[in-house]
Amino acid sequence: MTFSLTRSVEHAAYVAAGEDELGNEIASYALPVTVRVFGWEPPRSDEPALAGHDRVVVDLKLYAPQSMGAKPADYVMVGGKRFEVIGWPEDPNDNGIWSPGLVSVNLRRIEG
């Protein structure tokens, strides 16, 4: 079975750009590239029930081809919003029964 890749996102790979004076890695990103994907689940948001707390964490699962090559700390633009890749993609393609050619990429955005 082949899945149609009908949606587009922008993917920017994380690239370490050296170290600062304290030895911490300096974050940088490659230029974003357009990637065709199968789609994504509706975003889920969570915020603590605390008075005065205005931070919202938005999680989204993206279904992309293995060739996207997403890795932790990359970012993906979905619907005009920037999400960070959380962890390594979930890859069901090595199970010996079915190989969909897609991976599940976990994304997170923090607002506020």
pLDDT digits (tens, 9 = 90+) for 41-55: 988 887 766 777 777
Contact 65, 36 (CB under 8 A): yes
Q: Which of 97, 108, 100 is nearest to 65 (CA)?
A: 100
Phi and psi for 50 in degrees, rounded to 5? -120, 135
pTM comes to 0.84
| Confidence bin at 4 (pLDDT 50/70/90) | confident
Q: Is the pLDDT of residue 36 over 90?
A: yes
What CA–CA distance (Å, rounded) separates 81 from 33? 15
- DSSP assigned state of 90: B
Residues in the chain: 112
